């Protein structure tokens, strides 16, 4: 409950002390799992891995299916943190199967959210890498999960958190289908805020801002939503969310002063080994871009203007503008934010193969 209420420092202390005292395997697994979820939300991958490693040893015992499922939900959260949505989808599907028939709605809602997030992330990744098979599988999974979420929200005695999870699932479903809906995200944010659960509310506001930018909606509204989400993320110490907010703000070239701390966190995270694309696959070739167009796209993804791209590549601003127009056409997108999002998904900023590098002068 402390985690749900956004009292994360207290949750950290309670789980630490609890683990010093608890010896019964099922109860210890639950403490380790919620601690792992907290550490993942804060981006502490080292302690997260340690918590899950101990949990893995304990699940070999004859533990309650609900507890085993909750542990697997924590594993799926780690896989999402490491940008492995396909693995997260498989893990959470197994967890939901274990959880089938349970009346523990308090735990079921978060699992549905993790599952839908994994499906939407995988759909995004599949579209970026031009994998129709991955997109189709992710869309099918998202639609099935949406039906489950909506059905559970209509059951007698459904809790506010299950209503909020269903609203979040509906929003993630729009993202999975390639048309992220800012209004759906705002409804999810309001549902979480009403409980109150500040962290998922902040995540929903971030997604609402992202969806607005992708649709060329109000930039002022997007800035306000990102500022609010960033304030919560910074207060909680939710570093991965700070990274995501800062990256979207940078790609959209938004002047958000309150994101300075998040931007610094994003710079640090950029040096960590969490590449989203296999090193053996050339992003430029996958997207049908020339080496020069890939260089331009990387600069677009970093939030550079046409003039700044021209200066970096020693070309004229007009030539830079032509390159950007051609890139948008080849990617089949309407604006720079969509192009930048695809670039990040396929590894913009990752070192290119030596054969693809050219003398930019």
Q: Which residue has the higher pLDDT, 255 or 35?
A: 35
Q: Which of 153, 167, 88, 148 is nearest to 121 (CA)?
A: 88
Element (H, E) at 85: helix 85-99
What is the pLDDT at residue 277? 40
Confidence label for 104 from pLDDT (cuts 50, 70 and 90): low
Percent of the chain with pLDDT over 70: 86
Q: Which residues contact 6 (CB under 8 A, 6 or more apart)?
A: 196, 197, 198, 199, 232, 235, 236
Domains and CATH numbers, the chain: 193-274 (no CATH), 283-356 (1.10.10.10)
- Tokens 């599907």 belong to which residue? 93
Percent of the chain with pLDDT over 90: 53
Confidence label for 61 from pLDDT (cuts 50, 70 and 90): low
Mean pLDDT of 85-92: 95
Backbone angles phi, psi at 112, to 5 degrees: -65, -40
Q: Which residue has the higher pLDDT, 59 or 359?
A: 59
Confidence label for 291 from pLDDT (cuts 50, 70 and 90): confident
What is the pLDDT at residue 348? 62
What is the pLDDT at residue 256? 64
Q: Which of 81, 92, 69 is nearest to 138 (CA)?
A: 92
Mean pLDDT of 32-56: 94
Q: Which of 64, 66, 95, 100 is nearest to 78 (CA)?
A: 95
Predicted confidence (pLDDT) at residue 285 exceeds the cutoff of 50? yes
What is the pLDDT at residue 28? 93
Q: Which of 186, 183, 220 is nearest to 203 (CA)?
A: 186
**Mean pLDDT taken over the chain:** 85
CA–CA distance, 250 with 265 (Å, rounded to integer): 13
Backbone angles phi, psi at 27, to 5 degrees: -70, -35
> Among the residues of 194-290, which ranges form H helices?
198-214, 219-236, 239-251, 260-269, 283-287
As to burial, measured by CB atoms within 10 angstroms (0-12 exposed, 13-18 middle, 19+ buried), residue 339 is: buried
Give the pLDDT confidence of 203-244 residue by residue, as tens digits.
999 999 999 999 989 999 999 999 999 999 999 999 999 999
The answer to whether 305 and 299 are in contact (CB under 8 A) is no
pTM over 0.85, yes/no: no
Q: Which residues contact 92 (CB under 8 A, 6 or more apart)?
A: 72, 73, 76, 111, 114, 115, 118
């Amino acid at each position: 409950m402390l985690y749900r209420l956004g009292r994360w420092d207290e949750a950290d202390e309670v789980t630490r002390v609890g683990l010093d005292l608890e010896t019964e395997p099922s109860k210890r697994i639950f403490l380790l799992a919620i601690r792992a979820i907290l550490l993942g939300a804060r981006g502490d991958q080292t302690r997260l891995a340690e918590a899950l490693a101990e949990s893995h040893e304990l699940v070999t015992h004859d533990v309650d299916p609900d507890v085993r499922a909750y542990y697997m939900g924590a594993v799926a959260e780690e896989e999402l943190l490491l940008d492995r949505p396909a693995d997260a989808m498989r893990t959470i599907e197994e967890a939901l199967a274990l959880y089938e028939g349970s009346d523990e709605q308090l735990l079921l809602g978060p699992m549905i959210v993790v599952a839908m997030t994994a499906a939407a992330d995988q759909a995004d990744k599949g579209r970026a890498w031009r994998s129709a098979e991955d997109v189709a599988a992710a869309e099918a999974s998202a639609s099935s999960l949406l039906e489950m979420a909506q059905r559970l929200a209509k059951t007698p005695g459904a809790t506010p958190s299950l209503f909020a999870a269903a609203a979040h699932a509906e929003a993630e479903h729009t993202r999975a289908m390639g048309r992220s809906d800012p209004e759906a995200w705002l409804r999810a944010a309001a549902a979480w805020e009403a409980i109150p659960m500040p962290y998922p509310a902040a995540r929903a506001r971030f997604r609402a801002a992202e969806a607005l930018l992708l649709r060329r909606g109000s930039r002022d509204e997007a800035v306000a939503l990102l500022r609010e989400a960033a304030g919560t993320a910074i207060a909680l110490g939710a570093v991965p969310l700070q990274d995501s907010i800062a990256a979207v703000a940078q790609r959209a070239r938004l002047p958000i002063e309150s994101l300075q701390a998040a931007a610094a966190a994003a710079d640090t995270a950029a040096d960590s080994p969490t590449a989203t694309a296999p090193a053996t696959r050339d992003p430029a070739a996958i997207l049908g871009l020339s080496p020069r167009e890939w260089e331009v796209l990387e600069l677009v993804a970093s939030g550079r203007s046409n003039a700044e791209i021209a200066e970096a590549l020693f070309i004229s601003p007009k030539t830079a503008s032509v390159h950007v127009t051609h890139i948008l056409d080849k990617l089949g997108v309407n604006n720079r934010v969509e192009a930048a999002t695809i670039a990040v998904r396929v590894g913009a900023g990752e070192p290119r193969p030596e054969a693809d590098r050219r003398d930019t002068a």
